[in-house]
Structure 1
Amino acid sequence: MTEKQERPSAEHVDHIRGEKGDDGSTWDATTLQIEKRLVRKLDMTLMPMVWILYLFNYLDRNNIAQAKLSSFESDLGLTGSQYNTAISILNVGYLLMQLPSNMIITRVRPSIYMPVWVCIWSCISAATAGTHNYGGLIAVRLCLGVSEAPFFPGAFYLLSCWYTKKELALRTAVLYSGLVLATAFSGLLAAAIFSGLEGARGLAGWRWLFIIEGAASFFAGTVAFFVLPDFPGRETGSTKWLFDEDERRIAIERIQRDQVSNQETDRSVLFGLKSALKDPRVFVFAFMLCANHTAYGFNNFYPAIVEGFKLGSTAITLLCTAPPYLVGAIISFTVAWSSDRQNERGYHISGSMSVAIVGFVISVSSLNVPARYFASFLYISGCFAANSMVFSWAASAVSQTPEKRACATAIINLVSQFGNIWSPYFFRAQDEPRYTLAMILMMAFAAASIGTCALMKWTLKRDNRKLLAIHEGTNVQPTLHTL
């Protein structure tokens, strides 16, 4: 092991650059035990906390889909495409805040920055219960998008500072499962609230839905102040009491060794932004995730899709929305585990989107209710499994500096929001309940995602050949891009 690896800088991991020792040495058994202990502690603290916060992040933005089955539209006087606009406007706020926030997070303490935003969005979400017209709803949804924007790219950036590439796909799938389970259990929760609190204290059931879920996420945000760690190497947040000196040193060193052998030396945020904007791969990943999000556009309309199956009452409809998402979570874990084990991303993403396409084809071509319900298992599982791996693939491919990684992942997530902005308009009122046009369009975008996977694998294979050529004839084994 090199001297640099034995005595890393005291700065946090994002301020370290390096690679494996020139002699090809590996860690001894004691160091490996420390690393296992470190990862176990992260899995017991960091992962559960960001998972819970992401669950509420998505619960608070997605509860409008359940509210639609209550008196939400009639109480607010929504007509035409106003409901669709209320869904889309949240993503406009998301676009405005994501990139600035991820530039800021590289210079602040995540253990304070992220929980503050959680508490803010919780209050805004609960305020939806106080709206009485379309204008008020639009204002609240726009502010909700701005306040929720910092969380996901910030949480992923924090995970990428602690976990290596081979660990990240499964952890990202776990994080995404918060979205899956939020969508699944939101229907169960809404069914319970609508049946038990409809009209209580003169409030409609959908108003209680926003109040209760907003209060719960605020509580989770206050807990996060005490549980979230800051960056490796910093003795602040839970990092101070959770990890000992050896674990903090190994946390820095293992991320240092995991970096692709193409690191830059300029550590300014402005350089990271410029570098990200000049990298074509950033925009290939951005289009890939945008296509995935567009194919996932069914999410805000899935209760309405299931309602079209005419399975029974509103409560039964909401209960039937849960199983496909639960199955989707299990499949997402399995695919991500396989991706980490095989150190491969492209085929796993494109394979998952192929399954989604099969689901969309069945939905378009069949009138049989059991077949269409089964198809929803396919497109929900396929889209979730694919989405959970795009970020982990992108983070390793565009991380020449930590600042570039933060800016690039924010840009990728920012551009992908266009898929969430235009996809609600695929679901026209005249197409209920089958939404044939929407299914065809989502099928097309799923196919586009597969095409970008092929392009990215070709690009990264070319880059790997260049890295091998640069190190040819030396004793250094370069760290290559994950394909």
Structure 2
Amino acid sequence: MSFPIEKDSQPQSTDVFAKDGTQATIGKWYQWFSPSDTPEERRLIMKLDALIMIFVFLAYWAKVLDSSATSAAYVSGMKEDLKLFGNELNYLNTTYMVGYITLQIPLTVLMTRFSAQYFIPGADLIWGILTLAQYKVTNVHQLYVIRFFIGAAGSLFFPAVQWYLGCWYKRSELSRRGSLFFIASQIGSMSSGYIQSGAYTHLDGRYGIEGWRWLYIICFSCTIPIALFGFIVLPGHPDNCEPFILTRHDIQLARARMAAENREPRKPITLSVIQSVLTGWHFWILVTFAFFFSQADGISSNSGLPLWLKAEGYSVKDINTITTVMPAVTIVASIICGIFSDIYDAKVYLIAVTALLNIFAGVLLAIWKIPSGLKFFAFFLSGSADGIAAVIYAWANEICASNAEERAIVLSSMNTIGNTFGAWLPLFVWKTVDAPRYLIGYNWAIALDVCMLAMLFVLRSYWNRKKKLLQN
């Protein structure tokens, strides 16, 4: 089965690839479109960006606003109000991750049979309602239950969006879109700090509600309108999209672009399809690589910086403000990686440099007894670890381009398997009682980055071999 393509909807030109598979038509780093894009393609891309990218950006921002709210709330009064004096913060993160990984693969695969137009915004509605429920908790056990179901409700979002972007965008466009999507998570983290600071300063005690509880109310108020917006603007998939904001000609052009990319439409999920995916190198190498990547950002994701600042006697307002620098570094790194990945196809180099930078940060923090300025530098530098997320998932989309079901299974498995370990490893590696000097954690992060470098060259070797086979 292939996309139906009307003769007059074929793109007038496509990206040119050299014999070795590298992109031959290269634009400037600041250009949004490929030099080979026709005027019709550019208009289509702008429409897709307006319909898809704006929604997924806002939706991801709202999700991370809630997720990072728990860490912000912990140092802003929740710890004392709910009497959290042990490893409860780790347990809260773990219960969220258990819910997150439980349904991620089946829901992502199920979405391929129906429509992202309804699946993604529908999950957001459930997310918003559960987010609101958190402001009413009176003990940590209630929070455990709610965090579990919030994790389940948000489980399909990240891999589903990565798969969905791969349905509409070419490989030379995916990293930049993936970067824009991903930096919404960092802006959510930054927003959490600023909003929590404002809530703590101006809303604490208003109507008898503590400042940290107000953040959950604010998150709910952001999530619901965004979900409703998604129902209106998201197109379906190219192979079953009905004209609405996109015209019939737009849809035919989108199908032609995907056909030129060897991007196949959806097929029925069968046992033979699943068996084929699970016995291929795509699944095992990409999932193994994703495991090392997903755990290697432990320095930036396990609250080391805010807990160190709290131990040093910084005020709540200062803690919530200073910690926004780390996601700002991630935003800059993600934009740079997305641009250079798309324009120059420099995925291997970008991943390698990022791993080396984070090894350096891990070494500094493992030493620990260093000047405070250098310690700040190490914490902030570790924010670059997630800057390659869009590059890695764009690469997986490219590698699995010819099989829509494989893309769904591999992308969701990459996220699920990595995060499965994230649900319990912090209990042993990133113990809250060891904070702020996570000696085991920092050394663990170094080891993961070293392993990621090794797997990078394994992945590159297999991918180069496959490209040569496709050219023969």
For the aligned pair, the TM-score class normalised by the smaller chain equals 0.7 to 0.9
Question: Contact 2:53 / 2:177 at 8 angstroms: preserved in 1?
Answer: yes
What is the CA–CA distance in structure 2 between the aligned matches of 1:363 and 1:460, rounded to whole Å? 35
Change over 3 Å in CA distance of 1:245–1:303 after alignment to 2: same
Residue 449 of structure 1 aligns to which amino acid in structure 2? M
Per mean C-alpha deviation after superposition, the further-off stretch among 404-413 and 429-438 is: 429-438
Which residue pairs with 2:366 in the alignment?
364
Matched, 1:94 2:100: yes
What is the CA–CA distance in structure 2 between the aligned matches of 1:49 and 1:376, rounded to whole Å? 31
Which residue pairs with 1:345 in the alignment?
347
Residue 447 of structure 1 aligns to which amino acid in structure 2? V
Deviation at 1:347, TM superposition (A): 2.3
Map residues 413-452 of structure 1 onto 2, 5 A cutoff. Answer: 413-425=415-427, 426-452=429-455
Per mean C-alpha deviation after superposition, the further-off stretch among 407-416 and 357-366 is: 357-366
Which residue pairs with 2:32 in the alignment?
none
Deviation at 1:373, TM superposition (A): 0.8
Which residue pairs with 1:214 in the alignment?
220
Deviation at 1:294, TM superposition (A): 1.3
What is the CA–CA distance in structure 2 between the aligned matches of 1:246 and 1:384, rounded to whole Å? 38
TM-score by length of 2: 0.88
Matched, 1:107 2:117: no
Question: Contact 1:272 / 1:407 at 8 angstroms: preserved in 2?
Answer: no
Question: Contact 1:259 / 1:396 at 8 angstroms: preserved in 2?
Answer: no
Deviation at 1:233, TM superposition (A): 4.4
Deviation at 1:316, TM superposition (A): 0.9
Aligned residue among 132, 155, 162 for 2:168: 162
Map residues 296-375 of structure 1 onto 2, 5 A cutoff. Answer: 296-297=297-298, 298-308=300-310, 310=312, 312-365=314-367, 366-375=369-378
Matched, 1:171 2:177: yes
Map residues 161-310 of structure 1 onto 2, 5 A cutoff. Answer: 161-236=167-242, 240-259=243-262, 267-268=268-269, 270-297=271-298, 298-308=300-310, 310=312
Which residue pairs with 1:478 in the alignment?
none
Matched, 1:60 2:66: yes
Per mean C-alpha deviation after superposition, the further-off stretch among 160-169 and 393-402 is: 393-402
Residue aligned with 2:38, SS = helix
Change over 3 Å in CA distance of 1:31–1:454 after alignment to 2: closer
Residue aligned with 1:70, SS = helix
Change over 3 Å in CA distance of 1:386–1:178 after alignment to 2: same
Deviation at 1:334, TM superposition (A): 1.0
Which residue pairs with 1:80 in the alignment?
86
Deviation at 1:109, TM superposition (A): 2.1
Percent identical across equivalent pairs? Answer: 23
Residue 86 of structure 1 aligns to which amino acid in structure 2? L
Residue aligned with 1:56, SS = helix
Deviation at 1:364, TM superposition (A): 2.0
Residue 112 of structure 1 aligns to which amino acid in structure 2? Y
Question: Contact 1:94 / 1:145 at 8 angstroms: preserved in 2?
Answer: yes
Question: Contact 1:286 / 1:415 at 8 angstroms: preserved in 2?
Answer: yes
Residue aligned with 1:78, SS = coil
Aligned residue among 147, 152, 159 for 1:146: 152
Change over 3 Å in CA distance of 1:61–1:141 after alignment to 2: same
Residue 351 of structure 1 aligns to which amino acid in structure 2? V
Question: Contact 2:166 / 2:397 at 8 angstroms: preserved in 1?
Answer: yes
Residue aligned with 1:232, SS = coil
Deviation at 1:148, TM superposition (A): 0.5
What is the CA–CA distance in structure 1 between the aligned matches of 2:365 and 2:144, rounded to whole Å? 32
Change over 3 Å in CA distance of 1:30–1:404 after alignment to 2: closer
Aligned residue among 387, 390, 406 for 2:389: 387
Deviation at 1:189, TM superposition (A): 1.0
Residue aligned with 1:243, SS = coil
Residue 355 of structure 1 aligns to which amino acid in structure 2? L
Per mean C-alpha deviation after superposition, the further-off stretch among 342-351 and 180-189 is: 342-351
TM-score by length of 1: 0.86
Deviation at 1:241, TM superposition (A): 2.6
Question: Contact 1:311 / 1:317 at 8 angstroms: preserved in 2?
Answer: no
Long gaps (5+) in structure 1: 10-18, 21-25, 470-483
Question: Contact 1:90 / 1:141 at 8 angstroms: preserved in 2?
Answer: yes
Residue aligned with 2:381, SS = helix
Aligned residue among 374, 399, 421 for 2:401: 399
Change over 3 Å in CA distance of 1:245–1:415 after alignment to 2: same
Deviation at 1:419, TM superposition (A): 3.9
Long gaps (5+) in structure 2: 10-14, 17-24, 26-34
Deviation at 1:267, TM superposition (A): 4.3
Matched, 1:32 2:35: no
Aligned residue among 32, 44, 51 for 2:57: 51
Residue aligned with 1:132, SS = coil
Residue aligned with 2:441, SS = helix
Question: Contact 2:304 / 2:437 at 8 angstroms: preserved in 1?
Answer: no
Question: Contact 1:118 / 1:218 at 8 angstroms: preserved in 2?
Answer: yes
